[in-house]
Amino acid sequence: MLGVKRGTVVLLPYSSEWKLEFEKEKASLLKTFGDRIKAIEHIGSTAIPSIPAKPIIDMNVAVESIDDIEDFIVGLQKLGYEYIPERRYTDRQFFPKGPSECRTHHLNLVEIYSETAWKNPLLFRDYLRNNEGARKEYKKLKEELVCKYADNREEYTERKGNFVMSVVEKARIVK
């Protein structure tokens, strides 16, 4: 099952189905855009075995630049993603998929050389995949936060920020 009511937080135990769903989306994206895509990565907690997660598939789709993405906007809309012009940032454009009240996928079209949009999410994911202690700590934090902020996804996400940045910093040192 994918999707969570907008603005809320529900954590489900890790499911191998999330990886399959990501692979399905990845194949569809590559078929649609071909070599315009430099890389596609499954990010977020649904990409980390043994971590509970909101059942939303997060992915980064890397391109050379987000300055000229009109063909991506049109193609992603055909695949069911929504274009939200105000969700454009310096190095990424956000596209959600699924009903507006219950998103199932979050796609970030990112510049492949971006440290914040491309490299940091991969450092975070890979560090947690390879570090049981960090996984346990993150799982505990998420479970504590969902008890306090189940109806406030923005605050839930904000409260994870310091942990995420500390893991990224540790990952940079290890790498």
φ/ψ of residue 96, rounded to 5: -90, 160
- Within a domain: 102: yes
Total tally of structural domains belonging to the chain: 1
- Within a domain: 65: yes
- Within a domain: 6: no
Helix, strand, or coil (residue 88):
strand
Q: Are 37 and 43 in contact (CB under 8 A)?
A: no
- Within a domain: 10: no
Phi-psi label, residue 34: left if phi above 0, alpha if psi -120 to 50, beta otherwise: left
pLDDT at position 142 is 97
In which domain, by residue range, is 87 found?
A: 16-174
Q: Are 33 and 74 in contact (CB under 8 A)?
A: no
pLDDT tens readout for residues 90-121: 889 999 999 989 999 999 999 999 999 999 99
pLDDT at position 168 is 97
- Within a domain: 132: yes
Distance of CA 171 to the CA centre of its chain: 18
DSSP labels, 99-162: -TTS--EEEEEEETT-IIIIIHHHHHHHHHHH-HHHHHHHHHHHHHHHHHHTT-HHHHHHHHHH
- Within a domain: 162: yes
* Angstrom distance (rounded) from CA 24 to CA 31: 11
- Within a domain: 145: yes
Looking at residue 64, which CATH number applies to its domain?
A: 3.30.460.10
- Within a domain: 8: no
pLDDT averaged over consecutive 10-residue blocks of the chain (175 residues)? 90 96 98 96 96 97 93 96 91 93 95 95 97 97 97 95 96 86
pLDDT at position 157 is 95
pLDDT tens readout for residues 136-145: 999 999 999 9
pLDDT at position 90 is 85
Tokens of 30: 């590559």
